[in-house]
Amino acid sequence: MDSNEQLESGFIAELKDLVTLDYDAVEAYEAAINRLENEEYKKVLEEFKKDHERHIQEVSDFLIDINKSPPSGPSIQSILTQGKVVLGNLLGDKTILRAMKSNEIDTKSAYEKINTYKKIPDELKDILERGLKDEKRHLAWVEKKLEEK
């Protein structure tokens, strides 16, 4: 990227919030994986967790490249972290998946929103589009599992 001036106002702040949200999501996945009994669910959520870890890595690398410091961990009081506390008290795989569904909706919305910026730097475009695709796929899977008996 030539210059930071080309970035739309608010973009970097929103990008940082996105990284924080991805950290929160990783924590929520860990809480869910520890609680779930179904081995298939655990395995799939491990894969989804890796997607979020990749998002963190890729967006953080971009921020470092343009001399901005990326967030270093989850937020203290996020919706997802509260979700994690709630998750810790939930019983039953379907109940846990329902909590994860609300997390997937939040992360999907965040990726939808960041993708509405008009001047996303080229090196970030694919990363953010892939991030949105990942979240749509995560949500679709959770919804499918919740529909199954």
Q: What's the rounded Cα separation, in Å, for the pair 94 and 24?
A: 21
Minimal distance in Å, beta carbon 77 to Fe ion? 20
Q: What's the rounded Cα separation, in Å, for the pair 139 and 65?
A: 31
Only segment of 54-62, 71-79, 110-118, 136-144 that touches Fe ion (CB under 5 A): 136-144
Minimal distance in Å, beta carbon 84 to Fe ion? 14
Q: Does 138 bind Fe ion (CB under 5 A)?
A: yes
Q: Following CA atoms 40, 41, 45, 47 in sequence, which dihedral angle do they give, to the nearest 10 degrees?
A: 20
Only segment of 8-16, 30-38, 117-125, 135-143 that touches Fe ion (CB under 5 A): 135-143
3-state secondary structure 39-95: HHHHHHHHHHHHHHHHHHHHHHHHHHHCCCCCCCCCCCCCHHHHHHHHHHHCCCHHH
Q: Which is nearer to Fe ion, 7 or 86 (CB)?
A: 86
Q: Which is nearer to Fe ion, 44 or 66 (CB)?
A: 44
Q: Does 108 bind Fe ion (CB under 5 A)?
A: no
Only segment of 38-46, 66-74, 111-119, 137-145 that touches Fe ion (CB under 5 A): 137-145
Q: Which residue is it, tokens 């990227």?
A: 1
Which stretches of the chain bind Fe ion, using CB under 5 A? 107, 138
